[in-house]
Every structure is written in C-alpha cells, then in structure tokens.
Structure 1
C-alpha cells in the first residue's frame, strides 16, 4: 500500500508573530492568513529494504537505518524522522515498522510560507491515513506543533500548522496553554477573485533562518521592551482589521492595514528587514504597489504586494528585473489531505 498526502502553504496577511510565545501566552495573539496552491508532499509505503528509509527528494538527502534506531539529529531529514518517532511512541505502542518516507515541497525552507511546519502537517497526515488514526484538523495541527517545537526544539509560532491543517481563509486566536481557536471565514467570490488578481508573490531568492528572528522577538517581549511590545499589540489589532476589510471587500482599507502591519512588524525585531528588502519595496511602490509585506518571520524569502489588477503586469515586469522570481499563485479552500494507492 502506498499513501500520499499534501498540505497547503500559507500567506500571513496580518498578525504574524503574535502567535509566538511568550506574547500569545501573556496577551493572546490574533492572525489572519490564507492558504495557497503551493504544497508540501509526503509519500509513505513499506520499506523495500526492511529498514526505515527517509528521502528528502528536493534536498537530495536520504538515510536508511534500523527502525528502532531512528534519531532526530538536525538536518534535512529531521522533520520526517521526528514524525516517525512520535507516531511510533504515541500510536504504535513502541513498535517501529519498516517504512519508506519521501517528501518534497513547492517552496524552499526559509521561504516565509510556513514550509517546514506545513511539511510536518503533511507527514502527520500521511501517517494518520496509513495507520488509520482518527485525527481531526485540530489534533493534526496540535501534534505537528508538539513534534516541531517540543520534540525537535525548533523555534516558531503556531499559525503555520493550523493553516496547513484547515486550509482557506482563517482568523486564528492563540492563548496560553497552547489553546488555539480557528475561525474559518466565508469570503465572497468577488472578493476572493479581486484579492487574487491584486496579489503579486515574489521570491527574493534568499532563504532565511526564521529561528534567529523569532528568538529576537521573543527576547524583546521577555525583556519588556516597550517598542517591540507596542508593535506586537498593533499587529494583533491589525489582524482584526484585516478580517473586517476582507469580509467587507474594502480593498483600500485592506492595503492600508497590510502596509501598517509591515511597518509594525519591522519594529518588533531588527533583522526583519534589510537593505535588499527595502530596495525591492521601493521598486514595487514606484511601479504600482499599494502595500507590501514579507511573508513569515522576515529577513528574506517571499514578499507579497497588493496593486490595482490593471497595473499588475507592470509591477510583475519590474520585479522580474530585480533578480528574484514572481510566482503565479491562487488561494485554496482545503487543508491537508491524504489518499491511498493499492
């Protein structure tokens, strides 16, 4: 039997960073995001060698080992080995079966689209399908979060796992004790289409390590830095404003909130922006952009821009000459899914 799964990547529209401890534990966090038609993929089948086999196809990395000797050392195979070990421990009574795990992604690590956490969700989903585990969206997201943050010790927030598990437009609330509330939004078709037509997604060509930025944000909150704390409260408020603008189809307000959120985010940590990002932002505004932000923690990866759809071609042309890549993208309404072959 072969089982495959995929989980959608996400764009953070507003509130990103307020889902990270300790801010969300102390003050509560709000995030507005949407999933797109870029995915993390996982395939699971019996191991031909009788061992545990792990393949990160896009990283050209692989390892074969005894099923009861799977480690979680850092590297491109860490995520899949972490999921394997957690499933064996929690759901298989410690029995480690000989399996082959293969993964790939439509976006590189450090892209700002939540690619690492989305991959963990895809892996949890494929294992759940393979072993018939009764896990809903909340359980999949919570398990993925525990694996990534607790088992593997990787820094980050909570929104990516829930976006990948649920899919679509979601307003998310984050509280202490890892309590999360996901509020799916019913976006009118014309608003969905207008936002898709207005959005330009641009990969800077530079992946970044989000952990450093997240650590700085968390340290600023723990140290009580008023400028960082004020910026985080603004980000939280802007998630609510973004939700309201989306539901009403108020695109002038939407662009204003996105730009204001980007300015606030830059105040939460010093490494969120850099001269490269500033230059691309200035170029975009000279060529029709109304708003911009870096997706994810910042520092590189993907940038998103809003513009008048009638001016989109000119903006795309200008960005295409800046050394990065413009991605054609569409929103999705579905979260992680899995299917069996044979």
Structure 2
C-alpha cells in the first residue's frame, strides 16, 4: 500500500501573537484564522528491510536511516525524526514530502508539516488519535521537544481546517468552528488579495524579542497584545454579521497594532507595498505570520483588486490565487499499482 496525506496552510486574520507563550497562559489569547487550498503533502511506502529513506523537495534533501538508529536532532529533517520517535517505526519505509509554500512564509508551514506527518503515520499505524490529540502532539513536538519558536494556533488550524475562532485559556485550547455562509466565503475570496513579498523571514528572532518584551512587561507591547486580542473578537463579529468593510478596516487596525510588537515585523519593502495598496483603495491588510517578510494579505474593493495586484507586481511582489479549504488534515491509502 501507499499512504498519502495533506494538511492545509492557514491565513491568520487577527490575534496572532496572543497565542505565543507565556501570554496565553497569563492573560488568555484568541485567534481568528482560516485554512486555504495550499498544502503540505506526504507519501509513505512501507518496506520490510528496516531501511528508511526520506526525500524533502522543499529542502532538496534525501536522507537515509535505519529503524535501529536513535536519530539525533541535528537540524536535518528534525520534524520527521520527532514524529518517528513519538509514533514509532515498526518497519522501514520511503517518505516523500513537499509543500505549496516555502518555510518562513507566514502561512504556518512548519506546523502544518508536523500535523501532516502525524496524520500520515496515524493512517499507516492505525493510531486512534482525535483532532485535539493530533494538534496537541504537533505542538509538543515542534515547540517543546524541538524548541522551535512560535505560537499555538497553527497546529490547530491545520488539524481542524476551515474558519475557526481559537481561544487559548491557560493550558486549555478551545477551537470554535465558524459557520460562514458560502456566499460570504465567495465574497472574501473575490476581495482578498494574497501577495508573496519575495522574502521569507527569520521569525524566531522576532518572536524572541517579542517574548522578552512581554516578559519585561513593556507597557506598549502588552497593550498592543491586549488590543490585538480584542480585535480578534471584533473581527469575528464583523465576519459573522457579514460586515466586510468593517472586516477590512479592522485588518488595518490589527496591522497597526502588530507593528508595535517588534520593529522588525515590517520593513521598507513591506511598508511601500502596503502604502501603495492603501493609496489605491485597499481597506486593510497585514503581513501573515510573525512578520518581516513572507505573504501580505489585503482586503480590496472588488473593482480595485486587479489594479492593486498590478501595482504590487510592479513592486516585485508575486500575487497568488487561493481559495478557502474547509477540511483539515486528510489521509488516505491506495494500492501500489495505482501510481
């Protein structure tokens, strides 16, 4: 048999930063996000000889191991090794992985890769994991076991899929799926513009400084995080009531708050692209993820979107078409003859 899986990347509309410990444990966080039709993919072909071969298209790596080895965390395919350690490898296998967006792009790529691998191994090994357990394991692997800096939202978004309002209440995470009418989703897809700025970012450095500023209780950073959390609730209300112009304006307010977390969240290129988009009619937007590069999301008037897209591409941006994805991580299996 061949086992396959895919998990969707996500767009975070509001609340990002309030899911980064220790803020959610001390003050409670909230994030509004939705998954899109960009994915992390994986295929696994079991083998009986104890040999493991992992091919990552994203990093252009082919690595070979053996099931008897205690694989060290050494910076090479550590996400794969950690999933293998936690879920087991009863036999050898060949694993092929790739994603639709580069690491560091702000779409939650690394967390989605972990969720996807857990979904794949769950299918192969017939592990009875429910969605919350998948997301919790992915968080533990990435943030605690491997020590990769980041928040708590991405693992839950990739696992559950769709539009979600996710609350972080101490050590408890509550995923609230939002029932968004199809016509409203269509309108969002019609008016949202996603543009790759051409640069990935080193989110760990930004997050280190953000965490440090919060732990020092710097007033401006704490106030910005608190305001960002409140905006997540306001954006949810605007979305559920269909007030999309308010939704666009709140995105702008959220971006202004986010820039107060750390000076590296934006740069001259991002500021120029955002200012040009606003000048041409965009109601609001934000850089996705921790900031510093990656994808820029903009909410546009329907009759100005194409003009804004043209201007961003003149500024070396790359506009990317997308739709929303309502499903979370999925896995399936096929006969080896269906290749």
> What runs of 5+ residues in structure 1 fail to find an aligned partner?
89-94
> What is the distance in 1 between the residues matched to 2:50 and 2:68?
12
> What is the distance in 1 between the residues matched to 2:256 and 2:102?
26
Partner of 1:87: 87
Partner of 2:175: 182
Cα deviation per residue 1:82-121 (whole Å; 9 max; x = unaligned)? 1111112xxxxxx652122221000000000000000100
Shift of 1:71: 2.4
Partner of 1:91: none
> What is the distance in 1 between the residues matched to 2:223 and 2:232?
15
Partner of 1:292: 285
SS of 1:268's equivalent? Answer: coil
Alpha-carbon contact 2:67-2:91 (below 8 Å) kept = yes
Partner of 1:328: 321
> What runs of 5+ residues in structure 2 fail to find an aligned partner?
none
> What is the distance in 2 between the residues matched to 1:56 and 1:162?
23
Residues 1:210 and 2:203 are matched in the alignment: yes
> What is the distance in 2 between the residues matched to 1:157 and 1:70?
28
Residue 87 to residue 241, structure 1, CA distance change in 2 (3 Å): same
Residue 135 to residue 280, structure 1, CA distance change in 2 (3 Å): same
Residues 1:18 and 2:11 are matched in the alignment: no
SS of 1:267's equivalent? Answer: coil
SS of 2:265's equivalent? Answer: coil
Shift of 1:58: 2.6
Partner of 2:68: 68
> What is the distance in 2 between the residues matched to 1:331 and 1:45?
30
Alpha-carbon contact 1:56-1:76 (below 8 Å) kept = no
Deviates more, 1:27-36 or 1:148-157: 148-157
Shift of 1:270: 1.7
Q: 1:195-274 alignment to 2 at 5 Å?
A: 195-274=188-267
Alpha-carbon contact 1:54-1:101 (below 8 Å) kept = yes
Q: 1:25-40 alignment to 2 at 5 Å?
A: 25-40=25-40
Alpha-carbon contact 2:32-2:165 (below 8 Å) kept = yes
Give the structure with the higher percent helix: 1
Cα deviation per residue 1:135-166 (whole Å; 9 max; x = unaligned)? 11111111111110111111111100000000
Shift of 1:248: 0.6
> What is the distance in 2 between the residues matched to 1:83 and 1:102?
15
Q: TM-score, normalized by length of structure 2? A: 0.96
> What is the distance in 1 between the residues matched to 2:74 and 2:9?
22
Paired residue for 1:101, among 72, 89, 95? 95
Q: TM-score, normalized by length of structure 1? A: 0.95
Cα deviation per residue 1:230-285 (whole Å; 9 max; x = unaligned)? 00000100000010000011012111111111111110112111111111111212
Tell me which stretches of 4 or more aligned residues in structure 1 moved more than 4 Å.
Answer: none
Partner of 2:45: 45
Partner of 2:6: 6
